[in-house]
Amino acid sequence: MPTPARTSLDEIVLAGRTILEADGIDGLTMQRVAATVGVRPPSLYKRVEGRTHLVRLIANDVVGELAETMDAAATSGDPRHDLRRLAHAFRAFAQANPNGYSLIFGQLDEAERADPELNARASAALLRTAAALAGPDYGLDAARTVVAWANGFVSMELSGAFRLGGDVDRAFAYGIDRLSSSISDGAPLPR
Amino acid sequence: MPTPARTSLDEIVLAGRTILEADGIDGLTMQRVAATVGVRPPSLYKRVEGRTHLVRLIANDVVGELAETMDAAATSGDPRHDLRRLAHAFRAFAQANPNGYSLIFGQLDEAERADPELNARASAALLRTAAALAGPDYGLDAARTVVAWANGFVSMELSGAFRLGGDVDRAFAYGIDRLSSSISDGAPLPR
DNA sequence: ACCTGAACACCGTTCAAGT
DNA sequence: ACCTGAACACCGTTCAAGT
């Protein structure tokens, strides 16, 4: 005799993401998720292989949203301007979703990480813009430099690593300005 | 009737760091540590407040070693040269101690992180060198830019985030060259 | 077809009892 | 003074039994 479904995969992932953002990765327990969607913990295993799988599904959800955000930020046609907007959109996303951000860029087991294709989509706009600035020969190097800086800056900011005072917003603007000009094709080469 | 001590705090921290490096943060259980030092789990609590405290002690150990490594890499007197050597030393340290590195720069609860003063010592050489290059007005901004880039680059490399092929070593050299020249006082300002 | 209680293995941690 | 077994709370996960 069939029992009507009391929840769904989407509801589980959404509940998981909400709990993650509220209480961090350690607060994300199967019991919390089950209670949130109104079911007992064992029932979750009808829709999800286990906690590791659920974490990956949440990471996919977050990284997909990041991809949309980034795509929407790179539409001006001026790569210089786009790069600045991309950097600011990236930082704003991380500040709005700190624990979700850590899920994407933090160190996780392979099985917990978001799908590589989704990660590629999230960085596509930055790659394209950096390549437009740096030219074909150094496009990939330039993109990696910008992504590394943005990710490092934001994760240090989120973890409270900038402890020496000063204006963190100014440091961010300084960084994107210097990077933007120094990766640009035609900029003077390093002396 | 006193019982002779069968282990010590130093031995516990060393065992913890060895287990961390071998099996990651999830493999670092009180049971593993206790077995390694030849004691039952409850005995650890005579020397350590709990797992959180032990993680912090290990983080302190790692960050202290990083500080020594960095200090030793910045001795040439030429800030340009020092900056390059610092970046390479930083990356080499992370590659030699990947899980220890994640303990320092990954997202952890406040109680698990290394002492702020030790973190400051580890970044002192980079700060000093970047400030020497950028001059007093932009020293802090420049240092934050370089540290953010180095940390972001290394953590992405460790987590396997550079998936588009190409030469990662070249991207690292490219990044440090561009940063070094673009933060230097007297370099052309961003256009 | 989905849900549940009971059970298991494995954690961190406490504490009274041993020496 | 340090060490230990026993116990507790809390995880993730499995599974036979219910509807």
Predicted pLDDT at A189:
46
If DSSP codes are grouped into helix, strand and coil, which group holds residue B99? helix
Predicted pLDDT at A187:
55
Q: Is the model's pLDDT at B47 over the cut of 60? A: yes
Radius of gyration of chain B (CA): 20
Quote the CA–CA distance of B144 and A83 in Å, as a whole number: 19
A31 closest CA partner among A42, A22, A23, A20: A42
Across chain B, what does the average pLDDT equal? 94
State the smallest CA–CA distance between residue B33 and chain A in angstroms.
Answer: 21
- Dihedral sign, CA of A172, B160, B122, B111? positive
Predicted pLDDT at B75:
94
- Please give the nucleotide, over all strands, whose C1' is closest to the CA of residue B45: C13
Predicted pLDDT at A108:
84
Out of A107, A145, A180, the one facing B149 most closely (by C-beta) is A145
Predicted pLDDT at A186:
62
- Chain B residues 63-102 within an 8 A CB cutoff of chain A: 102
pLDDT tens for chain A, 191 residues: list them: 678 899 999 999 999 999 999 999 999 999 999 999 999 999 999 999 999 999 999 999 999 999 999 999 999 999 999 999 999 999 999 999 999 999 999 888 889 999 999 999 999 999 999 999 999 899 999 999 999 999 999 999 999 999 999 999 999 999 999 999 999 976 544 43
- A190 and B183: CB-CB below 8 Å? no
Q: Is the model's pLDDT at B191 over the cut of 50? A: no
DSSP assignment of A30-85: HHHHHHHHTS-HHHHTTT-S-HHHHHHHHHHHHHHHHHHHHHHH--SS-HHHHHHH
Q: How many residue contacts between A and B have a Cβ separation below 8 Å?
A: 153
The model's confidence at residue B189, banded by pLDDT at 50, 70 and 90, is very low
The model's confidence at residue B187, banded by pLDDT at 50, 70 and 90, is low
Query: How remote is the C-alpha of A109 from its chain's centroid?
Result: 16
Q: Contact at 8 Å (CB) between A151 and A87?
A: no
Quote the CA–CA distance of A58 and A13 in Å, as a whole number: 6
Predicted pLDDT at B111:
92
Predicted pLDDT at B1:
60
pTM of the shown model: 0.95
Instruction: List residues, Cβ < 7 Å, touching strand D.
Output: A 1-3, 28-31, 41-42, 45, 50-52; B 1-7, 39-40, 42-43, 46
CA neighbours within 13 Å on the CB side: how many for A118?
17
- B171 and A141: CB-CB below 8 Å? yes
B183 closest CA partner among B153, B154, B140, B150: B140
